[in-house]
Structure 1
Amino acid sequence: MIDPRFYKCSGALSLKKLSEVSGAEIVMPLPLNMTEDSAFENVATLEDATPSDISLFHNLKYRNDFQSSKAGVCFTQHAAVELAPKGIALLVSDSPQRSFGLALAALYPQAEGQMSSMTSPAHPTAQIGEGTILEYGVVVKEKARIGKHCRIGANTVIGAGVDIGNHTWIGQNVTISHAIIGCRVVIYPGVRIGQAGFGFAMDKRGFVTVPQLGRVIIEDDVEIGSNATIDRGSLRDTIIGQGSRLDNLVMIAHNVVLGKGCVLVAQVGIAGSTRLGNYVIAAGQAGIIGHLDIGNGARIGAQSGVMRDIPEGETVLGSPAIPLKDFMRQTATLNRMVKRSPAERKKTRE
């Protein structure tokens, strides 16, 4: 469900209008009790959608979610029509993500929010809890709420609708938007939370930005190092689990979910929609591609390139990342081969 604190819909669009603004074709015949004038304004993921919602299916990994979805309308490609469950109206195109992005832009033309002049650093509708200290240059926008006994560093900006729990410490030059932050959270200087994710459709006709309509949820007792960036979700939320620790310069993309007590060391990057279980550790400069599942207690070595799911408790290393024992065995074998004399290598080839 799109959070109305952060996003305002411009008004419902009929199925016919959705087709016009997106360039997608309506698949006929339509489901019973639906016409081209049937109107929709809500947007949701396949698994969360209801008959009043618009959704998107463009990745076969989510085929089961598509086939069990309750969405009213779904953007997809021509090849997926035969997979669709009954009751869903389909809008098909060669680039469903592009069409979906155009439709969202029509429904939510101001997803980034509006800028307006402020006569005081804290908007009159903002709520600031007892004992909270705001250093010089802090800006608190409309309807934001900051809990009790918080500390907000100089030149930090708290965006409209943001909610911050009690006893949270936020350093200097931090920006936070589209976010719900728990209690006793520590956010070091220069952190960026809640900006739009790197979501766009690549197309020869020109790239189309897909409005990012999710949030960032930071649970209690999290620490986030300097200059880390956490993008908000596209439709679902980006979530940082309770007690997790993020080092400096960590990058979290849209829709990523971290379980409890995860540790991400400096310069770790996690691509969109990957899910980490509880107490996962990723060492410095590890990179994890999108749409993966990393099991509870998994450990990822420094500079590893993770390109597959990791089972619970497994330790991986290398690029592409492989189980630690396999990595050590391959390294030992390579070392033996390199140390052979030219005569030994020639004998092996013969």
Structure 2
Amino acid sequence: MPDPRFFQTLSPLTVAALAEHIGGEVVRGGDVVISAVAPLSSADRGAIAFLGDRKFAAALAETKAGCVIVPSSAVDAAPADAAVIVSGEAQAAWARASALLHRPVRLDRAISAAEAAEDDTVVIEPGVILGEGVRIGRGSRIGANTVIGPGVQIGRDCLISPGVTVGFALLGDRVKLLAGARIGEAGFGAAGSKAGPVDIPQLGRVILQDGVTVGANSCIDRGAYDDTVIGENTKIDNLVMIGHNCVIGRNNLMAAHTGISGSVTSGDNCIFGGRAGVGDHITIGEGARVAAGGGVLADVPPGEIWSGYPAKPLRQFLRETVWLSKQASQKKGAKESKE
């Protein structure tokens, strides 16, 4: 179930009512009542899940979901005790169901600094807006014109610079967010449908552990359902983008213009050079390094240094670069000798 500090759960609906609204045909269980959405792996009897790819067939067979949305070819694979909705656009249908069952808590009312602060050591600069349920730990400072969304928890001795927005997030102690940082915006997710792409509601959070620093104008998206997590003492430069569902280890360093796609996992003590990019669902092993400008499209083993595009182990990249340079020189020399 999404965190109630950040998401309101709306009235439950029967499977038949959901199918009518989201576009689908009920195969069985139309009277089953559904109150939440969830992935196949974590859904319970009150939740609706979906099968969007054959590679998750095993998860479909084992799911505890009360209802599943599947293509017609997968009806027989659905658990016998689950209600079933058939749809040719299962993920888009699930996204529509999500919007019917959950709603982000909006910043409809601001609270005072006295309501949010742990004690009088908290400094709130002019123009700050604090949503309901915000809590700010001792010794923290919130910069001018910053907006802290409903339910956000900020630890002790944090420094939030001017012009920052924080929502759907839990911050540990000694966290620093530099000017213009955007924490907890919706992750990028869209499902195809006959009517065009459908936004997938993002129902997760951002968790910044103790000692994290986020540079100016950097963005960290909240999870689609699970959390985006930044490990202790990780330091993020200006203009860095971290997508939804990423789990970044402790003591990572990310230079400016690094881009981390959704659902990436990095171990502890990893380093990303400037303008490094990592594709989605990739694992970066503990102590690994991605050189500046590297484009990672495969898992990086622990302790290795990768470079180039597509990125590969540094020695391999250098050997190939030298070979290519020699080939180019030889061709140039042959051409000049003919002339």
Report the TM-score when normalising by structure 2: 0.92
* Alignment-derived partner of residue 89 in structure 1: 83
- Residue 116 of structure 1 aligns with which residue? 108
Name the amino acid aligned to 1:8.
Q
Matched, 1:40 2:40: no
d(CA) in 2 for partners of 1:153, 1:308: 40
Question: What RMSD over aligned residues (CA atoms) do the two structures have, in Å?
Answer: 2.2
Residue in structure 1 matching 2:316, options 317, 326, 331:
326
Percent identity over the alignment?
39
Corresponding residue for residue 211 of structure 2: 221
SS of the equivalent of 1:230 reads: strand
Q: In the superposition, relative to structure 1, how do residues 65 and 257 fare at CA in structure 2: closer, same or farther (>3 Å)? A: farther
Q: Aligned to 1:291, which of 278, 281, 285? A: 281
- Verify the 8 A CA contact 2:265 2:284 in the aligned structure 1: yes
Q: Secondary structure at the match of 1:340?
A: helix
User: Is contact 1:127–1:143 with CA below 8 Å preserved after alignment?
Assistant: no
Distance 1:132 1:123 in 2: 8
**1:170-198 CA deviation, whole Å, 9 max, x = no partner?**
11100001100001111111100011111
- Which residue in the other structure is 1:243 paired with? 233
Equivalent residue number for residue 21 of structure 1: 21
Query: Cα–Cα, structure 1 residues 241 and 64, in superposed 2: closer, same or farther, change >3 Å?
Result: farther
Question: CA–CA distance in 1 between the matches of 2:78 and 2:272?
Answer: 38
How many Å apart are 1:139 and its aligned residue? 1.1
Q: What secondary structure is seen at the aligned counterpart in 2 of 1:58?
A: coil
How far has the Cα of 1:127 moved from its partner?
4.3
Amino acid at match of 1:114: R
- Between the aligned partners of 1:235 and 1:220, the Cα distance in structure 2 is 23
SS at match of 1:8: strand
> What is the deviation of 1:258?
0.6
Structure 2 CA distance for aligned equivalents of residues 75 and 279 of structure 1: 40
What is the CA distance between 1:128 and its match in structure 2?
Answer: 4.2
Alignment of 1:273-284 (within 5 A): 273-284=263-274
* 1:105, distance to aligned residue in structure 2 (A): 1.0
Shift of 1:317: 1.1
Counterpart CA distance in 1 for 2:308 and 2:72 is 39
Task: Assess if the C-alpha contact under 8 Å between 2:168 and 2:222 holds in 1.
Answer: yes
TM value normalised by structure 1: 0.89
Instruction: State the SS of the aligned residue for 1:330.
Output: helix
1:2 is displaced (CA, Å) by: 0.7
* CA–CA distance in structure 2, aligned partners of residues 335 and 38 of structure 1: 66
Kindly provide the amino acid, as one letter, of the partner of residue 300 in structure 2: I
Q: Output aligned runs, 1:177-256, within 5 Å.
A: 177-256=167-246
The residue identity in structure 1 corresponding to 2:15 is L
Match of 1:172 among 134, 153, 162: 162
